[in-house]
Amino acid sequence: MKHVYLDNNATTRVDPQVVSAMLPFFTEQFGNASSMHAFGAEVSGAIKSARKSIQALIGAEHDYEIVFTSGGTESDNTAILSALEAMPGRDEIITTAVEHPALLQLCDYLEKSRGIHVHVIPVDTHGRLDIAAYKAALSPKTAIVSIMWANNETGTIFPVVELAELAKEAGALFHTDAVQAVGKIPIDLKSTQIDMLSISGHKLNAPKGIGVLYVRRGTRFRSLLKGGHQERGRRAGTENTPAIVGLGKAAELALAHMDVENTRVRELRDRLEKGLLQRIPNCFVTGDPYSRLPNTCNIAFEFIEGEGMLLLLNREGIACSSGSACASGSLEPSHVMRAMNIPYTAAHGALRFSLSRDNTDEDVDRVLDALPKIVEKLRALSPFWAGAGEAPKTFNPVYA
Ligand SMILES: *Cc1c(COP(=O)(O)O)cnc(C)c1O
């Protein structure tokens, strides 16, 4: 049975061309980029060329604005901690209720251990940011604003270009976790006021454990790690050359395939989504369908547990992900579903399908065939469903 992988927002397959590009850097080209001999020169040349590929993908003005890190989590942490050190007299952070844990857990820690004031901007039921609350939170005390470009669970895209302009007016730094956006939607940083941006390799068909923090030229910056002078003193530690070369190749491929992402992948996603909404009663799309990544859809199925569906889908060889995370033994809906105020009876049954250019029409057909039966089976066992029957939808569906 061929496996159907629809969990690309969790991680992606390393592209075979990326693997090929990396291999020589484990064998012949094993040098240390800092060495003053041919072995070093070869490697530092390859790192420079990877930097240029990433510069092109995100439209950065200079290649030295690209700083290689160990991934999205390190990039997010570095941006926030740097700003708190580099912006004297400013000790407040603004972020949103739907960020990745890499941001929210750090903010929580900073609030508890250092007394940093963190403004958490809410979202509405469609995942849209409360812009009035954001404007009200900005002040001369704001060190940094960190707002994700696109949400990993719902795919909702925030208007970060405009939000960065507002932050600039308040004299604050603006960082965006663009881990889910880079490679899926066009980005041209030089025409924006965004100071810092996070990328993760493994969300982009490159390996795990490599990422980028874009740092705009002239941005006040303090490195997280203290050590060698690598990355112009902004990220100490011998460069992970194979992974950097891999990420460079992945960036080239992402740029070349950007139109596929926004045509073929989007069409597959839309067919999957419409098909499920047609075949299954009492379900609806979460997030903002009018401002959304082309590869993601998150559907909440009422009166049913996400985990049950995942288990049965897995038996059919289909991999996707549930909106709820198992927190300390109790099944709590995800913080993103809670932030959107998705009714309890639906938040538990949210499933995220995240596609990639590897997916096919057959993959979509497999889900459209399997999931309606699974939902019917599970609902037959659900006391909530028995109580609800064919109840009217309790929540505004996006597609009536
Ligand atoms: C995956 C992800 C991260 C974390 O990236 P890692 O490279 O796994 O550390 C951060 N933010 C978002 C939105 C993500 O989807």
Assign a CATH topology to domain 4-10+258-392.
Aspartate Aminotransferase, domain 1 (3.90.1150)
Residue nearest atom 4 in ligand 1 by C-alpha distance: 72
Question: Do the beta carbons of residue 149 and residue 180 sit within 8 Å?
Answer: yes
Assess contact for 137 and 119: CB atoms under 8 A.
yes
Among 92, 157, 91, residue whose Cα is nearest residue 123: 157
Sign of CA dihedral 340, 326, 77, 56: negative
Q: With a 6 A CB cut-off, is 197 part of the ligand 1 pocket?
A: no
Index of the ligand 1 atom closest to the CA of residue 71? 7
Q: Are 170 and 193 in contact (CB under 8 A)?
A: no
* 16-256 fold: Aspartate Aminotransferase; domain 2 (3.40.640)
| Any atom of ligand 1 within 6 Å of the Cβ of 211 | yes
- The set of catalytic residues is 326
CA-proximal residue: ligand 1, atom 8 (nearest): 72
**Residue boundaries of the structural domains of the chain:** 4-10+258-392, 16-256
On whether the CB atoms of residues 299 and 273 are closer than 8 A, the answer is: yes
Tally Cβ neighbours within 10 Å of residue 158.
25
Q: CA 290 to CA 299: how far, in whole Å?
A: 15
What pLDDT digit, counting tens, does each position of 374-400 carry? Answer: 999 999 988 778 766 555 444 444 443
Among protein residues, the one with the nearest Cα to ligand 1's atom 10 is 72
Helices (H) and strands (E) in the chain, counts: 15, 15
pLDDT tens-digit readout, 206-216? 999 999 999 99
Ligand 1 center to 207 CA (angstroms): 13
- Residue 232 pairs in a beta bridge with none
Would you say the CB of residue 71 lies under 6 angstroms from ligand 1?
Answer: yes
Task: Among 107, 179, 295, name the best residue to mutate to test ligand 1's pocket (greatest count of ligand atoms within 8 A of Cβ).
Answer: 179
Q: Are 208 and 250 in contact (CB under 8 A)?
A: no
> For residue 386, what are its two tokens?
């028995």
pLDDT recorded at residue 399: 42
31 CB within 6 A, ligand 1: no
Give the Å distance between the CA of 180 and the centre of ligand 1: 8
pLDDT at site 390: 58
Could you tell me if the CB of 182 is within 6 A of ligand 1? no
290 vs 188: CA distance, rounded Å: 21
CB 200 less than 6 A from any atom of ligand 1? yes
| DSSP characters over 278-306 | HHSSSEEE-S-TTSB-TTEEEEEETTS-H
Spans of the chain, pLDDT less than 50: 327-329, 392-400
DSSP letter string, 158-178: P-HHHHHHHHHHTT-EEEEE-
